[in-house]
Chain A
């Protein structure tokens, strides 16, 4: 509790004690009034002051005003009727303050919890200066400096290991508990915890550009992007409070006036009491506080699991996802290709692979990487020249003075070279040397171990259709899709075709069903932006993906996709529960209050009780840990 809260607690205790004492000892007349008045002022002076200021600043209809009018009114009524029962006014104020205190405490507490969850910010970096280790502010470390990370410390900046072996705990970033091995030459990202050995890391980014800063910025900004439910609530509150005040005014004056006109007794005090009850019930706090809190808790819980959701609006959209479109490579498959065969070649396998690796040396495509790996030797870039990359077809290059064309069958057709089809399933890379067909290399991709389970789990979570898009050959695509249980496949797509395909799917579906696209963030940024919601996988270190996507999965395990959907559904469910619960209770009590059935005690429950329950319910959104597991 902070100072303000402690003071409030003291006031509540004193006021409650006074109330009990005044009720036990027999006092009457003016003394009684003064005693109760003191008690009232102890508990409610700040509310009265705020209400006064509100009127002064011409902002009349807020909750302070509601409470002030209701309690002053109750006091006046007790005085007027001569009953001397001032308990009600004080009790209402007391409960209201208890509610406010609880709210500020609960919200402050959960805010701290959530911030602690996301506390991945490193406080310092160790740098070697004159043979001694000095702790410096990570902000001051320049690119290319060497920092030392001891076991148990967080890696403060992104970089490459120059010395040392260790295993890294990435769970703060990915939610994955299995440690990752790291050795000299590996790149590491900030936010991981170094577990076993001392590492020397040469930094490759400034602190502001490092992964950890990006993630923190993203999560902190996420609750600024407001969802439709939140917008609804702010708009609702704006209309609601004045509307309630005018209704209360009408309730206080209209029925007595009508009664008077009809020649009956006016019953002023009855109707004014009802109007005051009405005012107490009406405070919109439960709604206004619990909705953003639910979203914040949901986003916080998800980021603990390695799922970054960039805003409440995306949380809402994700929960409505009915179509999930996958990119194949790097998403459902590992994107780690291996050369599994070399066919129809006249020159030696090794020679063909060498040409292929050299021609592809400039490309960062996973296929090129696998060719380079299969070749195994050092790539001498001086042997390669005139590289021309034809997107969706392949590459033409000069190697050792010979013209090498390497790519898919479309490239061979384009160049008018006769080629042989392959019977094996996999990606076929045809090679032509000096315009002559030289054979092809079969490369196959490995399906990720959890892909199949993830697709099944998505279906169970309520996704209607799964679609796979790939630039790969039809046969490979169908074989992969078949083994994973994917509903629809579109193959042999160029990057631009993927956007077109997603647009086609978007226009075919109903407005309410949302389409999610899952990609690895490499070369599918346009599709990520185009879909209703873009999910980037395995974003550790890929800035482009973090920028383009709405939801970022830090890990590249496909099981994270159904987990993300489930977290969003749970969060939205809680939001709707709170909205409907608060509205039903409020309107129910408002009607009862207007009819005179509910008194101020009901009223204070409708206000404070609902708010407390809604806040507790909202905090439930934080608990999302078990959601990913199969049920």
Chain B
């Protein structure tokens, strides 16, 4: 399953870091962060609950970039 979330992030490098962090989160099959449109598209592993996974993604992202925000 694929879902798109709105994000807030100020710098392009931070967006790359968020993408990396999201990809490494368990339950995420793939993730793409689009800095220009301020969107994160996450593909979830089958059978995973997106809401729970996104909480983990948000935590992981906050760790690499404290200023970022994901609108869940």
| Chain A residues in the interface with B (C-beta under 8 A) | 4, 49-50, 53, 57, 59, 62-63, 100, 103-104, 107, 111, 114-115, 220-221, 223-224, 234, 237, 284-285, 288-289, 292-293, 296
Contact = CB atoms under 8 A, between A and B. Distances in A.
Interface of B: 10-13, 16, 32, 34-39, 41, 63-64, 66-67
Contacts of B67: 50
Nearest to A110: B36
11 contacts: A62-B13, A100-B10, A100-B11, A104-B10, A111-B38, A220-B39, A221-B41, A237-B13, A237-B16, A285-B13, A296-B36
A103 B39 contact: no
Contacts of A59: 63-64
B35 A292 contact: yes
A221 B16 CA distance: 16
Contacts of B12: 107, 288-289, 292-293
Contacts of A284: 13
B13 A57 contact: no
A50 B66 contact: yes
Contacts of A288: 11-13, 16
B64 A223 contact: no
Nearest to A114: B36
A332 to B, nearest CB: 35
Given A223-B34, A289-B13, 15 more contacts: A49-B66, A57-B64, A100-B11, A107-B12, A220-B34, A220-B39, A223-B36, A223-B37, A224-B34, A224-B41, A237-B16, A284-B13, A285-B13, A288-B12, A288-B13
Most chain A Cβ neighbours within 10 Å, of B10, B32, B37, B63 = B37
Nearest to B60: A57
A209 B38 CA distance: 23
A50 B38 CA distance: 22
Contact of A285 (B11, B39, B41): B11
A289 B35 CA distance: 10
Contacts of A289: 11-13
Given A111-B36, A223-B36, A223-B37, A234 B16 contact: yes
Contacts of A223: 34-37
Contacts of A111: 36-38
A59 B64 CA distance: 7
A114 B35 CA distance: 13
A223 B41 CA distance: 12
Contacts of B64: 57, 59
Given A220-B34, A292-B36, A103 B13 contact: no
A57 B60 CA distance: 10
Contacts of A234: 16
Nearest to A241: B13
A15 to B, nearest CB: 20
Contacts of A107: 12
A417 to B, nearest CB: 56
A293 B11 contact: no
Contacts of B38: 111
Nearest to A5: B10
B11 A57 contact: no
Contacts of A237: 13, 16
A57 B63 contact: yes
A103 B66 CA distance: 18
Nearest to B67: A50
A293 B37 CA distance: 11
Nearest to A300: B36
A104 B67 CA distance: 13
A136 to B, nearest CB: 24
A4 B68 CA distance: 12
Contacts of A220: 34, 37, 39
A234 B14 CA distance: 11
Contacts of A115: 37
Nearest to B14: A62
A260 to B, nearest CB: 38
Contacts of B34: 220-221, 223-224
A113 B35 CA distance: 15
A293 B36 contact: yes
Contact of B11 (A104, A114, A296): A104
A292 B36 CA distance: 8
Contacts of B41: 221, 224
B52 to A, nearest CB: 22
B13 A63 contact: yes
A103 B11 CA distance: 8
Nearest to A299: B36
A237 B10 CA distance: 17
Nearest to B35: A292
Contacts of B39: 220
A285 B10 CA distance: 12
Contacts of B35: 223, 292
A103 B13 CA distance: 12
Nearest to A237: B13
A221 B4 CA distance: 11
B13 A224 contact: no
A151 to B, nearest CB: 32
A104 B12 CA distance: 10
A220 to B, nearest CB: 5
A538 B51 CA distance: 42
5 tightest A-B CB contacts, nearest first:
A296-B36, A288-B13, A289-B12, A224-B32, A57-B63
Nearest to B4: A220
Contacts of B13: 62-63, 237, 284-285, 288-289
Contacts of A292: 12, 35-36
